[in-house]
Amino acid sequence: MKNASEKIKLEFFPIFEDTTDKKEEFEEDDELFIDVDEGDAKLGSNIADLFVVKKGKNGQTDCSNVSLRFRKHESAFAMFLEPASNYLAGGYEFFYEYDQSGRNRADYVRAARDTRFRMHEKFTRTLESDSKKYSYKPYRSEMHSAWSLVYPLLSVGQQAKIMGWAQDRPDIAENFANYIKAGFLFASPVMVEIYAWFTEYNRGNTITDVQKKNIQFISFVSPKLKTSLLLSYFSSALDTFDTLCEKIIDHKLGEWEKEWRSLTSLQNPAWYASGKSGNRQRLILGFNSPFYPNVLVSTSVFQEGVNLHLQCRKVHHYGIAGSPGNNEQRVGRVDRLFGKVNELLKVDGLAELEINYPFLKSSVDEDQVASFIARKFQVEDRMDNCTQSSFDKSVELTRENWHDFLRKPITTTGKELSVKDPYEATFDSLMPQYSYVPFESHDSLDVTNHIASLFGEILDATDDILYGIKENKHNPNAIFLIDPAVRHNDISRRQPVLVEQHFSAKFSALVKGTVYYVSFTSPLASKENLNNSGGDYESHLFSLAKKITRRCPLVRIVINEDAQYSHFYLHARVDLPIFVGSGYLSMLSKNELNIAFQQLKVFSDQFELGLFEGKQDLTVPQLRLSKYIEDADPAKYRINKTFSTENNVRRWERLSSSCGDSEHLYSEISVTSFDKKHSASVKEMQQHSLFIKTLITNGLSPFVNFSPLGTDYVHAGIGYPSGDIQDDERILLERWFDYVGAG
């Protein structure tokens, strides 16, 4: 039995009140109807059955009509369960319209899918074959889905997981989206929750514009998600999706084109498996997912060779096994590594596997349970002591003191166990002394509040503007937007800067702790801006980068190919790490923050002026996303001194400039080594020049700055504001430097 403890708290449940819009019609097709295997018993849920679309005159209820709204492509509400456009928190800008028998039909779902597919080369063929018959229609305002609202509510580790899929494996993200959509709509109480939301929102609503209605519904649902079943099921599905696909079922992680058809026929919370039930693999899938069934009753057909552990931590023996060995086989379906109990133990160490033997008190039933428990205890005791006993064919029926044979959990409460483990584990001294476990308890407000207080001292209260960002759907990592005034030859300019907080899973895996980092990003140009700038912009970029980077060595120039229509296609960036050790955040100092900020301001202003000869001055309203920062005054540097850290032969250089001192570690790597390490991470890397390759790579690995050094070598550097940097921080940065192939 899975944890079926979720409770739906609804003040009303108007299942007989028709809340649907009679004007909205859906085409009838076979996908609307759920297939139920005739071999399955009808363990029905009257509520769940209301959401099943049945054939016939009276086959539809108000519940099933609402369910159709969230399933059919021509309904704007079907966007609610689509993934975000970038699989993080992005929205959608257009939908499709097509002619069907002289009548215009909308297709919201196909347009949303094509928006996602256009971002990734992997999906090109699907776009070419499917989208020719559609015409584009823009939304009045950007359309978002529940995914966009859920993403900021996930833990840091869960966000990092989705971000990794979005960047490197969009096929997995798409497959996961199909998985949870099928589970939400057909095999969970989430559809009941959505129905309740829709009914409450729609009561008395007279709006006929479907786009406006959907946007208002998203706003209505947003504050409810934090304590919702939808978030709970999304989170649980995300945690176990990799293991489910790789270990449990025959559905590969990246098989997004393969439908999750089995989930659509698991509309009831309880099922049973026997020799007569059909398609038992479907039950294994459902029981290992957070979706239905929550209770699985099985005969011996599931006693051996079946994994049922991903979501389950309760076993009820409704019949006594023939031997203690068979009993262990039954429990072993759930008592397995990487299962629900194992994962809960990682959280606070307080999980337990609950095993129950139900019986009728003061009956032969209790005699049988008592005899079995006593026999089980004796067998386990002999196994632990490696002793044998003669086989006893008699069955001892007794109820006297049989509870004494029940083994009780041992709690240490800080004390050593009185009984020593006879088979205590020993470990090789060469094994790692620690393993990486991420700290997920640090709320982003910890960093946000600290940085806000520092900027309050750094910024000019008269000319500089600091914007707080709340629930930024475009970029959930954004925490501040800074819009400083910049003076250049007595002309006032603006150069916005976006401040973001990130979590680095890869860097965290290299250190004993967790690594967050704060990014300062200043937009420079879209791809169209560069093409229209005239001449050979690539050589112009190279000469500017070579000139200005020497003045501001902390700043990296980055190209983001996924943002070619945005001014963030070409941007300047500084990353500062925040290490977590022993549960405490090593916060940035005012000095470190100010040096990074001043160098980025100088660089961005000088670069934009040089690139566009003063004809462009980006402002906040020109940007789709909030990101900016700037300042002027050319900064000249000199080498102050060279030193080495204790227990470390690496040599760091301290560079002084009018924008503040910084310390740097440099190396030179061959172009061959650079390509081997990074080409696989960049789409169509080989078509670019070495210079453009380095700019793209700068956006993939925080902290490290790559630039060409002739035609055969690449210059790599990593920097940090000087003054407050510690030796252990240098060592951790060196470790990252080596990991990304720069050392």
Q: Tell whether the model's pLDDT for residue 145 goes beyond 90.
A: yes
Q: How far apart are CA 738 and CA 554, in angstroms?
A: 18
Mean pLDDT throughout 178-187? 94
- Higher pLDDT pick, 189 / 728: 189
CA 103 to chain centre: 40
Asked if residue 228 has pLDDT above 80, the reply is: yes
Element holding 1 (H helix, E strand): none
What's the pLDDT at 196? 94
Between strands 570-581 and 584-585, the pairing is: antiparallel
Distance CA 321, CA 631 (A): 77
Per-residue CA distances from 359 to 327, 334, 400, 444 (Å): 16, 22, 15, 51
Q: Of 34-43, 138-147, 220-229, where does mean pLDDT reach its minimum?
A: 34-43
User: Model confidence at 712, in pLDDT bands (50, 70, 90)?
Assistant: confident
CA torsion, points 632, 634, 638, 639, in degrees to nearest 10?
Answer: 40
Q: Does residue 549 have a pLDDT over 90?
A: no
As beta bridge partners, residue 501 has 518
pLDDT tens column, 466-497? 777 665 556 778 877 888 877 766 777 777 88
In whole angstroms, what is the distance from residue 32 CA to residue 16 CA?
21
Confidence band for 552, pLDDT divided at 50, 70 and 90: confident
Assigned token pair, 669: 């790597």
User: What is the Cβ-side half-sphere exposure of residue 461, based on CA atoms within 13 angstroms?
Assistant: 3
Burial of 424 (0-12, 13-18, 19+ CB in 10 A): exposed
The amino acid at residue 17 is E
Residue with tokens 């079926």: 4
> Which segments within 506-553 are labelled E, that is strand?
514-525
Q: How far is CA 555 from CA 89, 482, 659, in A?
A: 27, 17, 12
Mean pLDDT for 144-173 is: 89
Q: Which amino acid is at 381?
A: D
Least confident of 243-247, 270-274, 437-441, 504-508: 437-441
* CB proximity list for 726: less than 8 A, separation 6 or greater: none
How high is the pLDDT of residue 127? 62
* Per-state percent for the chain, helix, strand, coil, to nearest 5: 40, 20, 45
Residue 431 has pLDDT above 50, yes or no: no
Whether the per-residue pLDDT at 229 is higher than 50: the answer is yes
Question: Which DSSP state fits 203?
Answer: T
Most confident of 194-203, 450-459, 669-678: 194-203
Q: What is the pLDDT of residues 98-118, one digit of tens each?
A: 877 767 888 999 999 988 988
Contact of 567 with 525, CB cutoff 8 Å: yes
In this predicted structure, the answer to whether residue 291 has a pLDDT above a threshold of 70 is yes
At 53 the pLDDT is: 79
The Cα 665–Cα 87 span in angstroms is: 35
More confident residue, 284 or 642: 284
Determine the Cα–Cα distance for residues 679 and 683; give it in Å rounded to an integer: 8
Angle, CA 514 vertex, CA 512 and CA 515 arms, to 5°? 115
Element (H, E) at 37: none
DSSP letter string, 276-340: T-S-HHHHHHHHHSSSS-SEEEE-GGGSSS----SSB-EEE-SS--SSHHHHHHHHTTTS-TTSH
pTM of the shown model = 0.57
Are the C-beta atoms of 296 and 1 separated by less than 8 Å?
A: yes
* Residue located via tokens 């407050």: 724
Mean pLDDT value across the chain: 77
- Which of the four pLDDT bands, split at 50, 70 and 90, describes residue 499? confident
DSSP tally for the chain: helices H, then strands E = 23, 21
Which two tokens mark 17? Answer: 């009140």
Residue 403 reports pLDDT greater than 60: yes
Question: With 60 as the cut, is the pLDDT of residue 306 above it?
Answer: yes
> Higher confidence at residue 294 or residue 446?
294
Name the DSSP class of 417: P
DSSP code for 312: B
Phi, psi at residue 572, to the nearest 5°? Answer: -100, 150
Beta strands in 495-648 (DSSP E): 497-503, 514-525, 556-559, 570-581, 584-585, 637-644
> CA 57, CA 67: separation in Å to the nearest integer?
18
Structure tokens at 26: 């859906």
Q: Write out the two tokens for 202.
A: 């729609």
CA distance linking residue 70 with residue 55, whole number of Å: 19
59-86 burial, b at 16+ Cβ within 10 Å, e below that, comes to ebbbbbbbbbbbbbbbbbbbbbbbbbbb
- Determine which of 65-69, 239-243, 730-734 has the lowest per-residue pLDDT on average: 730-734
What is the predicted pLDDT for the residue at 441?
39
Instruction: Report whether pLDDT(631) > 80.
Output: no
On the question of pLDDT at 12 being above 50, the answer is no
Q: Which two structure tokens, joined as six digits, stand for 716?
A: 């790599």
What's the gap between Cα 723 and its chain centre? 36
Whether 421 shows a pLDDT value over 70: the answer reads no
pLDDT tens digit sequence for 582-625: 556 667 788 888 888 888 888 888 888 888 777 777 766 666 44
